[in-house]
A and B are shown apart, each in its own frame.
Chain A
């Protein structure tokens, strides 16, 4: 039987897997309604909660599954140290773009697949320019703002000084509770 290391190390296999993963992702995003401008902008205007429902469902299922896979050695954690200067400032810049464009980096590609031309000519072209701009500025940012204000911990269990399984149970309960409240209040 081929080992995981062989699959992960084979460049050609990885290119095909990336394409297949993307196809499944795009299919699910479109079926879930998240490739629609009105749905995404509606989430940011707090009038449509489809995006949050979809994301939280993904995290609810993925969090348990990942913990089990990691426990049995099938997956590794990639959680890395965060910084105020990188994660919070970058997150807010992203947010501004998210609202102006009405799509995020994955859903902009999905929207193109459904025929949205503003997502292609505006969104995808803009993203290539913006990402390239960051690559140009990176040498000047990497020792400055990007490493300002390191976070006190890498993972939530470390931050709360709790057992990871306890944190998973707590987070799952919070997310499921939140979705129930959303449904219950008719949103």
Chain B
């Protein structure tokens, strides 16, 4: 029936599907996290890239001040494996959404808009505040949802599992407050 359909076509069909089962995508991320540990001897995390980016911006503004900072002695602000993860994610997610035809520019996500309206400035201010807390908290806790939550957990790290539980405990509490209390009042 599908004899005319080559392997390439089947591959393309799979890659251009709008979504995969979260179990399949998750299993792939599990394998990828192990590959990172083998080939780079590193946990697949994303928050280091942001502090390295800040350090590199700092080096442009004042190289002397930045290079003297204690934090940047261990976490060197340079283009390396940990830094390249984030531009890679942007490209990978773009390829995936472009292939499946779901790529589109949007300022205000639908769920946010349904509760807080379509005001772009309000959404960006709250997103910015969230981003600051997220970047600050990730470095405070020494990792993010993937670094602690996935790579740390697969290494049976007690600290990583406790941290991941706190990400969700804090996240659930603030999300419920935001959408179920503040969202109802405004």
Contacts and interface: CB of A to CB of B under 8 A. Distances in A.
B93 A99 contact: no
Given A14-B40, A17-B39, A90-B163, A31 B89 contact: no
Contacts, number: 545
A5 B112 CA distance: 47
Given A75-B38, A99-B171, A19 B84 contact: yes
**A contact face: mostly helix, strand, loop, or mixed:** helix
A123 B144 contact: no
Interface of B: 17, 19-20, 22-47, 49-51, 53-55, 57-58, 69-72, 75, 79-97, 102-112, 120, 123-142, 144-146, 149-176, 178-180
Interface of A: 4, 7-8, 11, 14-38, 41-42, 44-46, 50-51, 53-63, 65-66, 69, 74-83, 86-119, 121-136, 138-139, 141-142, 146, 151, 153-159, 164, 167-168, 171, 179
Contact of A115 (B22, B106, B112, B172): B106
A75 B105 contact: no
A22 B145 contact: no
B79 A15 contact: yes
Nearest to B33: A62
